[in-house]
Amino acid sequence: MIRLESVSKVYKGDVTALRDASLNIDKGEFVFLVGASGSGKSTFIRLLNREETPTTGKIWVAGKDVGALSGSKVPFLRRNIGCVFQDFKLLPSKTVAENVAFSLEVIGRPRSVIRTQVPAILELVGLGDKAERFPNELSGGEQQRVSVARAFVNRPLILLADEPTGNLDPATSVGIMRLLERINKTGTTVVMATHDRSIVDTMRRRVIELEHGDIIRDQSRGVYN
């Protein structure tokens, strides 16, 4: 599903955020990316959805050579990838349902699909009764659920999550992790960058640890460190 071959990313100013990384992530895997601040976790994730291009090396995502993808093809890659962020990235002027519907609307999904999919996904994330609320009327955990709903409503092959629990208290974080686990069970590959030790330690999934851009550990059923 995801394959990296000797991938390096050097930002301008000679910052090497990822150095000679090679690995495979299979369909349906759940992978934690861990490492100190600045070790290259976000860079790794941004390379996968083509927000960045690799300086050297090749990346395949869902069968496509991401680095070689022409600009006009990038949107189609991203329709296969859901993204969740620490800061939710919800649109404050839209209701919960509208935020989710927006992501289908702008990729041209027919209205009939939107009408059935949006309530279903909100039910799945446990927000069926809050569809008409605005983001600022929700708790952080609820907002992150909306963001997960938006990322998953198009049934992507891959879900990328960059510190999705970074702004949440431990109890709320557990709720979000349950949700990501459920999504993973449907066959969706999940890659999640995190600093949250207890989550990694309790879930015992594959752990990839980065340090100054190097992969220093790749462990199945791993722990935080």
Q: What are phi and psi of 124, to 5 degrees?
A: -60, -40
Query: What do you get for the CA distance between the two ends of the chain, in Å?
Result: 26
Instruction: List the single partner that 89 binds among Mg ion, another protein, ligand ATP, none, CB under 5 to 8 Å by kind.
Output: another protein
Taking the complex as a whole, the smallest distance from the CB of residue 209 to ligand ATP amounts, in Å, to 11
d(CA 127, CA 155): 18
The answer to whether 39 contacts ligand ATP (rule: CB under 6 A) is: yes
Helices (H) and strands (E) in the chain, counts: 7, 10
As measured in angstroms, the least distance from the Cβ of 60 to ligand ATP is: 20
Instruction: Supply the DSSP string of 30-61, one letter for each residue.
Output: EEEEE-STTSSHHHHHHHHTTSS--SEEEEEE
Binding part of the chain for ligand ATP, among 11-19, 67-75, 88-96, 143-151 by CB under 6 A, reads 11-19
Residue 37 or 93: the one with the smaller Cβ distance to Mg ion is 37
Selected from 1, 17, 81, 131, the binder of ligand ATP by CB under 6 A is: 17
Rounded to the nearest whole angstrom, what is the least distance from the CB of residue 19 to another protein in the complex?
Answer: 27
Q: Which of residues 101-160 bind another protein (CB under 8 A)?
A: 102-103, 105-111, 150, 154
Length of the chain: 225
Least Å distance, CB 219 to ligand ATP, is: 18
Choose the one of ligand ATP, Mg ion, another protein, none that binds residue 26, judging by a C-beta under 5 to 8 angstroms depending on kind. none
* Of 24-32, 57-65, 75-83, 170-178: span binding another protein (CB under 8 A): 75-83
Query: Which DSSP helix (H) or strand (E) runs through 174?
Result: helix 170-185
Q: What are phi and psi of 207, to 5 degrees?
A: -125, 125
CA–CA distance, 214 with 149 (Å, rounded to integer) = 33
DSSP string, 109-134: --HHHHHHHHHHHHHHTT-GGGTT--
Residue 18 CB, nearest approach to Mg ion (Å): 12
Stretch that binds another protein, among 27-35, 54-62, 100-108, 167-175 (CB under 8 A): 100-108
